[in-house]
Structure 1
Amino acid sequence: MAVLLRLFALLFLATAARAEVLDREALGAFVRPPMSIGEPVNDRGVWELLNSGGALAGYVFETEPMAPLPGFSGAPVNLFVAIDLDGRFIDVKLIDHNEPIFVSGLGEAPFRAFLEQYRGLSIAQPMVVGTPYGDAEAGGALVYLDGVTKATASVRIAHESILAATREVAREKMQGLAAAPPAAPDPAYAEDLTWDDLVAEGIASRKVVTNAEVDAAFAGTVWADDDPEAQADPEGIYLDLWIVDLGPPSIRAAVLGAETQEKLDRLLAISPSEEPILVIDAGRHGLVSGDFVRNTAPDRLTASQDGLPVALRDADISVDLLPGVPEGTAMILRTDRRLGFDPSRPWVLEVEAVREHGMFQPELGRVALEAPHATPERFFVREGEAAPLSPAMEALRSRATDLALLGGLLAVLLLLVGPLMHRVARKGWLTPVRLGVLAVVTGFVGWWGQGQLSIVTVLGTIRTAWEGGSYAFLLYDPFGLAVWSAAIVGFVLWGRGLFCGWLCPFGALQEFAHHGGRWLRLPQWEPSAAWDRRLKGAKYVLLAGLVATVVLSPAHVDKAAEVEPFKTAITTFFVRDWFYVVYAAFWLVLGTVMFKGFCRYVCPLGAVMAIGGLLRGRDWIARRAECGSPCQLCKVRCRYGAIEASGKIDYSECFQCLDCVQILDDPKQCVPRILAARGPRAVPQRKAA
């Protein structure tokens, strides 16, 4: 154990040199003939791309030097990108990665197929990983990239790496723009403003489009006569749009009601790099379609600055406006300044006017109505360098429902094993309640939510500490992060037991295997007490070996981590190479005759949980003076071997099954209580001779 702790200390104190960029020959292997690599543009891996005649055709680069967003192994996903002079993707290929789900889970084929979607797309197009809401929105301004089932977080990491690196190249080499950090609202600047002041100074900009102007935009197309309302009232207002940047405190104080300001302030406290933008439409347009889903990208609004897209997303805040502010459909959008959006410089909001032609499977026609906007620079300040993007909000949005359900499950579980523990532990209640919870954990947390915690995350965190990287990769999987948070809370309250006993999907499968073996009346086998003690140390040896692999041979970490069968049984649902399936099945079959052998003796994550359990602040299992001497009932019944002969609980091996709590509370099982109920025994008198 001391050696293991020293290894951890070494890792968290050390740093490593940054990976070198590929040279001409190595990068040239990814270029499709007849194109070739020209001269280097900078020292960060950007090279000229030459056509067959030797003329400049674009640029090629790798993403890691410019956007080193770490993946789940702790190492960035490094990708080859080729773009033409118009910012259109020529090719995107995989150079190097250590994403566990693709290394030996799903294989690299679905990852490479995902990257093929970029070919032909432009960096000027807003792109998101996901599925459009509503069939009617096919062909809209947003480009939706199909993710990879069971690997959404990993492909989102790759997507953000591609966009962040490509935008940097596009800004520097195609737009002639300086890569200075964007402006941010100046919190120290205060100005007393009213709505009339905002309008007079152009801080609140307005775009008005009549029905006749929209008709003119569709003139000569099949959609020319598909808006009877516009033809009946040509002078009527189709779009009456107001745009206000709410980032500066003085501006939002002149527009928003107190409740909305409070909600927006809370959002900005959590996400200080967000720039909120208010849009109000008093016309017919309505800003979004009927299929729009809150907290997602608006389906009929896009934005651009300097010809590059600005990612917009609904802030999911109900809007209460001050008196005097125009009424209409109002929503607050948000964009991340770390993506390069500069609120102090002019930008354009593009509003789509959409018409349908035909009754069945109608053709959709669209025209873009442009509304330029700029906010005076006096409200902003430029400080520091632009931070690398941490795109956690998209992951949170996509898992919002799952996270809400998980939060409810965790709240119920904490209640059951906390205040209601003694009621749950009653005879006749414990087994059905426990198996019911474990079934939900296996199905929802494991197979559906992909919330099986893994040693891979621990090793990725260690590798990040070793290499001095960012821990932002943890935010790409908010569902798993929520389970980790619950496990850490469990460390303080109960030790390792909350996760290992209640929240581990593979542990639940092993427990079901045990009950299946008993139902089949299979003979049960348990190691002797001496061998039980020896075998429990194996998981710490395996953990130390994995940590040493991170230091000595990081390229082999993913293979070494296959000592866990979690990826096979939970992540891929046994759809893997046969030898992985046989290995996972071995532990489940063994579980029918030996109670949870993998969890007790082999699991390196269990070793981590046991170490984390040292944070436990109390001995939560009550003991009696007679426990251990003379009563050994709890020790004999404990299938985890977590009770010593003295009656003391070994919390590093306790899985919080509550069996001993049931015995202690039951006057018909607890031996000291049974003896106390009988009263003092009369000493029999020896008969006289």
Structure 2
Amino acid sequence: MRILLALLFLFVQGLAALAAPLTRDEIAAFIVPPYALGEPVNDLGVWTLLNSGGAEAGYVFETKDMAPLPGFSGGPINMLVLLDLEGKFIDVRLISHNEPIFVSGLGEAPFRKFLEQYRGHSINTPLVVGVPYGEGGAGSGLVYLDGVTKATASVRIAHESILAATLQVAREKMQGVQSAPPAHPDPDHDEALDWQALVDQGIARNLKVTNAELDAAFKGTVWAQDDAEAQADPGGLYLDLWLVDIGAPSIARAVLDDEALRDLDRFLKVSPDDEPLLVIDAGRHGLVSADFVRNTAPDLLGAVQDGLPVALRDADMIFNTRPGVPEGTAMILRTDRRLGFDPAREWTLQVQAVRQHGMFQPEVGSVTFELTHVTPERFYARAEVAKALAPWAEAMRNRAGDLIALAVALPLLLLALGPGMNRLAALRVYTPVRLGILAVMTGFVGWWGQGQLSIVTPLATLRTALEGGSFAYLLYDPFSLLIWAVAGLGFVLWGRGLFCGWLCPFGALQEFAHHLGRLLRLPEWELSTIWDARLKWLKYGLLAAMVATVLLRPDRVDTVAEVEPFKTAITTFFLRDWPFVAYAAAWLVLGMFTFKGFCRYVCPLGALMAIGGLLRGRDWIARRAECGSPCQLCKVRCKYGAIKASGTISYSECFQCLDCVTIHNDARQCVPLVLAAKGRAMKVTSQAGAAR
């Protein structure tokens, strides 16, 4: 049983791997110079194709997600198509399949050779897979692709997958997305109709071609005398073709008998995006050739809408029509509306008439007869056109869960650091609680939410202001923008401390590094008071240099911003080139010896936060008259050097760690409180002695 479960697990994992789209590197391996892979276009595996000069040259895409037609294995055949901007195939490459005839029979070589035939052909040319009849001559409107003996059906399925996916890309990327979504049959529209009503209203369309007209079409070609039957009966009908779209229920009821209606209903439940088309020919043409295979594309019929082919496929249905409907060779075709076909807009059915000249390896020629068709709009409904959200709104919707979590967490933090500050600082487990909050900031805000603020944003804002651009890009990252807003509020309430002490993921990492250093009993390296004060000005110098870069060399801003290790440690989780990783890691290693050295001395964002802290409206850390003289405990314990010898707080260097608040409120640590308690005890003892 365990072996079976293990095999099942491996099988499922294998299916998942097959289902996953190719990675960038995997796709790039299929592309050879002078072409190169560009950027992804959508989530269906479509990429841009670049030429040797880096300009867009076409598109690269997989077929399985856009045209997942099942093969004989039950799964789709996946191919990679390279299409240029003019709609010509650059190449078609086989990626994966499980067709039995190729897996355990012929091998993949014939399949790959078949796919080579697409190179150079245009999607606007009718491509047909069939038995070749020698060299196609003048007048032929078809391009024949040699099939694979014993595997005709498999390569035709592959052919239809290629065309369906390619047409989808061509419609969306090369002609532009149509202004309205395709119409779909309205199930609520009910109308009493019969065949004559369909004819009178132009819903059922007819194409008649006599033998004489057929001969006229081939006149002047080598095939002019190759149809004895046409010459014997010039007035006879070569084509007497009727076309009606039976996707609308009211129209289908006027054409098909009850049993056929039930079959059609079952078919449409399985394939709800298919549009069924009924064609009937009472002439000699017969709709398909002798080589036609059911459930594949009809080899003598094609369709065009908006200048692009419509992918037709046999629905493989056996049916009867109602009395009054013309008799003849009848078949129901289907086409997928998801590929751009709109039944309520005019389209054209193309019928190929084929002749052969010669006995051995005959030359094949064809002419095309066309029948335009459109079904009235009243039989259809259209989905409302989805209005694209503004980029900022789309960004908010995509990150709704993260924003809700952040919108809950930040007010709780503000309450804990504001009204609840003294209770928070008085907790016996305050340090573990603080480290827990910092862990959330590192994991959720930093690595998960990508909310590490950076000096890049203020510099970009400055550059935009100088150049007169739009600030809309700030809305594209609502997660970080919310943190910026709270950090700005912190300027007024506490100064720089809220962000630098609580909201900065890299600052939290440095604090964790320092605690690790203590656990490892590493020595602490602390600068003298003079050098500590001097080096704290370094971050302001770096900030000034960056502002100068914006003014003088704005193209180098991203380069100088690498002084921040945030991108390496938080944004990319150390997945960068080794010099960047070494730089970020060096600061964390240094943090094991020197408490938050980067934050205190180098961080240009910290310098900006300190300047923003000038908006602070109050001194929020309580002080006593004895602070500084005689008591120096808070100054000695402050790892940031943010308390002066006088006992006053230097808020531009305060990280709001609350250690001094803990000392200030603790009668066992605060020297003035300890002395006051001792004085009260001595007074009580003295009074007790006097009483005795």
> Shorter-chain-normalised TM-score: which range?
0.3 to 0.5
TM-score w.r.t. length of structure 2 = 0.45
Q: Which has the higher contact order (CA 8 A, sep 6+)?
A: 1
Determine which structure has more spread, i.e. the larger CA radius of gyration: 2
TM-score w.r.t. length of structure 1 = 0.45
